[in-house]
Structure 1
Amino acid sequence: MQEEIFTAELFVSRVLRIGVLCSGFVILVGILWFLISGDSGYPGDVYPTTLMEMFEGAVQGKPFAVMLIGLFLLILTPILRVGITVLVFVKAKDSLYIGITSLVFVILIISLLLGKVG
């Protein structure tokens, strides 16, 4: 049992590390793109306010949209961690922690869906 817990903790730490590294890489690409082009891709104080606008802007080559996608990935990283933790507790058959962690996961997803970027 102790080895399973250690394996689960190791997996979760790897997911967090990969999430932070990926988001940092995407942000860095956006920053470098901005520094090279000298333009955010948006006029004045205009910037994407929805996830769809961010993805469209990134596809169109707008550096600010790429940076925002990196920040969004950074926000998703701990949410993914909670989701993985739910699965770990399901595997361990710990119903109390399944319930608590599932509630936290649902609250995080709802707050993400109801929140606004801008």
Structure 2
Amino acid sequence: MEEKEEILKVERSIGYILRIGVIVSAAIIVIGLVLLFLRPTAIQTPTSLSLIFQGLLQLRGEAFIMLGLFCLILTPVLRVVVSIFAFAKEKDYLYVVITVIVLIILIIGMSLGLVEK
């Protein structure tokens, strides 16, 4: 019984992570939309992290929207990381290996996306 309770606890925490990630992302995007509505600009949308952070300091709506999308993309990645620790705690090493491989594939895919631009 204790093992099932532990699994349910981990599943709930993963669910909270996903919900919080989506809510935070949506809030950041809404802030960006409000800023964009209040202060429309004709500048190019920031596509790198440095440009996004510069835009955040300047309160540019496009930068907030891009940060919200970036957070939304990172939410499932965070879920994979938490799953690695959950499987390790359960001593399910086959799933730890599989999940680490999935994380490596995600990191490689995001890295290639940064290089391709």
What is the TM-score when the length of structure 2 is the normalising length? 0.91
Q: Which has the higher contact order (CA 8 A, sep 6+)?
A: 1
1:1-118 equivalence runs, <5 A: 1-37=3-39, 39-40=40-41, 42-43=42-43, 46-116=44-114
* Greater mean deviation of Cα atoms: 108-117 or 52-61: 108-117
List runs of 5+ in structure 2 lacking aligned partners: none
Which structure's residues are more often helix, by fraction?
Answer: 2
Distance 2:108 2:57 in 1: 27
Structure 1 residue runs of 4 or more that deviate by more than 6 Å after TM superposition: none
Percent identity for Structure 1 against Structure 2: 39
How far 1:110 sits from its partner (Å)? 1.9
* AA of the residue aligned to 2:18: L
How far 1:114 sits from its partner (Å)? 2.2
Which whole-Å deviations, capped at 9, do the CAs of 1:11-31 have from their partners, x for residues lacking one? 000000000000000000000
* AA of the residue aligned to 2:87: F
